[in-house]
Amino acid sequence: MTKPDWAAARALFPALKKYTFVNAAGGAPLARPVAAAGAAYYAEALAHGDAYWEQWLARLEASRAALAGLIGASPREVAFTLNTSHGMSLVAGALAGRGGVLTMRDEFPSTTLAWLNAGYKVKFLEPEDRRYPLERIEAALTPDIKILVTSYVQYRTGFRQDLGALGRLCRKRGVILVVNATQALGAMPVDVKKAGIDFMVFSCFKWTMAGYGAAGLYAASRWLKEIRFPEAGWRSVPVPETMDNQARAMKREASAVEAGCVHFPCIFALGAAARLLTGLGVGNIQARIFELNDYLEAGLKKLGLQATTPLDRACRSGITIIKAKDPAKAVAKLEKLGIMTAARGEGVRVSLHFYNNRADLDRLLAGLKRVLKP
């Protein structure tokens, strides 16, 4: 794949003219084609009422194919959900009674609460120097643990798991691998087949840049024959149009969880975002992010500021935590300068996506100098 024109890609985001936006891990700005895909639904409904229903259903499937392509899945393994919490609750419901869960101490609540709420025994693994080395995870896989639930990238440290290695470990130990990809999808490559992931859930308002309400679920085809999702409705069956109110056989596709009419505009925006990301190439995006990270790290070093994120490439992501005594205050001061960050973990969270550039980082570094080294 040829190297993308990053300046042209940046020009798709009007918000970047006004803000120094280094907060993709919070919520990313929208690109014009993504916003246009969502807005098209409202324009059509305004002009044509419900006459577009069939076209919207066709566009729903086109969006599904685009999302499936982004993660290396087949469309029948992919469903649209409302958010990570929703997807995780569906997976926890589908796996009821299969045994204990191992998860990470640093997880965002959307990863863990669904399992606790469903009554699973959940064991939390403590990090080692903000990392979760494979050997540490393996040692914690006691015979009672049947499900490993982890984020691909941790929101409060930036630590990135090696999904391939986790998949191999889970297969070796007969453990089900459930991944929350919210802090990575769109920025770090995900190939669900290569990694041997059983289930994956994600919100798409962060690195996938599709706005709120855009989210998804992947269920490996081998599971679709076996499980029942805990939610169902008229569109969960193979032919919804029969409107059989006594149907018991739900379709053996992930989209069985799209129980009723869906949130078309969010899904269309997600389809457009998946096409944009695939066009740029997620491998290219990751390389771009690493390049920007290097520039940021060099600048932090010059300023004498400390990144608490594990910086080795093997576990690096788009997130960098910069140590601060009062992160909330620092973030508020940066916002006054038009620099959008977040207070997470041990400091100021900076999260860089392909649309950022060195000029953003120069403004950020000047802001950090002013705020953290007055």
Ligand X SMILES: Cc1ncc(COP(=O)(O)O)c(C=O)c1O
If the CB atoms of residues 182 and 286 are measured against ligand X, the closer one turns out to be 182
- Tell me: does residue 183 bind ligand X (CB under 6 A): yes
Nearer residue to ligand X within complex by CB, 83 or 161: 83
- Minimum distance from CB of 105 to ligand X (Å)? 13
Q: Which stretch in 77-85, 125-133, 238-246, 352-360 sits in contact with ligand X by CB under 6 A? A: 77-85
Cα separation, 72 vs 81, whole angstroms: 18
CB of 108 to ligand X, least distance (A): 4
Question: Which of 112, 157, 161, 203 touches ligand X by CB under 6 A?
Answer: 203
Token duo for residue 255: 């989209």
Q: Is 351 in the site for ligand X (CB under 6 A)?
A: no
Regarding 151 and contact with ligand X (CB under 6 A), the answer is yes
Q: Does 89 bind ligand X (CB under 6 A)?
A: no
Tokens of 110: 């959307």
Where helices occur in the chain by DSSP H, the ranges are 6-10, 32-48, 53-71, 84-94, 109-117, 134-140, 163-173, 192-195, 221-224, 264-280, 282-303, 327-336, 358-372
Alpha helices in 304-352 (DSSP H): 327-336
Q: Which stretch binds ligand X (CB under 6 A): 80-88, 120-128, 241-249, 279-287?
A: 80-88
Q: CA 339, CA 241: separation in Å to the nearest integer?
A: 50
Contacting residue, 63, 83, 150, 236, with ligand X by CB under 6 A? 83
Asked if 286 touches ligand X (CB under 6 A), the answer is no
- Taking CA atoms, 146 is separated from 85, 109, 117, 349, in Å, by 20, 20, 17, 33
**Is there binding between residue 317 and ligand X (CB under 6 A)?**
no
Give the interface segment with ligand X, choosing from 3-11, 177-185, 225-233, 333-341 (CB under 6 A): 177-185
85 binds ligand X (CB under 6 A): yes
Which span sits near ligand X by CB under 6 A: 79-87, 94-102, 119-127, 191-199? 79-87
**Contact 104/151 with Cβ under 8 angstroms?**
yes
Binding flag, residue 157, ligand X (CB under 6 A): no
Give CA–CA dist 370/11, Å, rounded. 28
Residue 80 three-state SS: strand
Question: 339 - beta bridge partners?
Answer: 20
Which residues 6+ apart lie within 8 Å of 349 measured at CB? 23, 25, 26, 156, 158, 319, 320, 321, 322, 341, 342, 343
Closest to ligand X by CB, 183 or 255: 183
Note whether 23 binds ligand X by CB under 6 A.
no
- Helix count and strand count (H, E) for the chain: 13, 12
Size of the site for ligand X (CB under 6 A): 11
By the rule CB under 6 A, 155 interacts with ligand X: yes
Closer CB to ligand X, 114 or 220, in the complex:
114
| 125 or 305: CB nearest ligand X | 125
Could you tell me which residues are beta bridge partners of residue 319?
Answer: 351
In the complex with ligand X, the residue whose CB is nearer, 40 or 315, is 315
Q: How far is CA 180 from CA 65, 160, 287, in A?
A: 20, 12, 22
Least distance between ligand X and beta carbon 369 (Å): 28
Q: Which of 110, 157, 320, 356 binds ligand X (CB under 6 A)?
A: 110
Question: At closest approach, how far in Å is the CB of 184 from ligand X?
Answer: 9
Q: Verify binding: residue 84, ligand X, rule CB under 6 A.
A: yes
Is 108 a binder of ligand X (CB under 6 A)?
A: yes
Which is closer to ligand X, CB of 183 or CB of 293? 183
**Residue 207 engages ligand X in binding (rule: CB under 6 A):** no
CB nearer to ligand X: pick between 298 and 328: 328
Residue 180 binds to ligand X (criterion: CB under 6 A): yes
Question: What letter does residue 118 receive in the DSSP assignment?
Answer: T
* CA–CA gap between residue 286 and residue 293 (Å, rounded): 10
Q: How far is the CB of 366 from ligand X (least distance, A)?
A: 28
- CA dist 139 to 133, 169, 179, Å? 10, 11, 19
User: Which residues are near ligand X by CB under 6 A?
Assistant: 83-85, 108, 110, 151, 155, 180, 182-183, 203
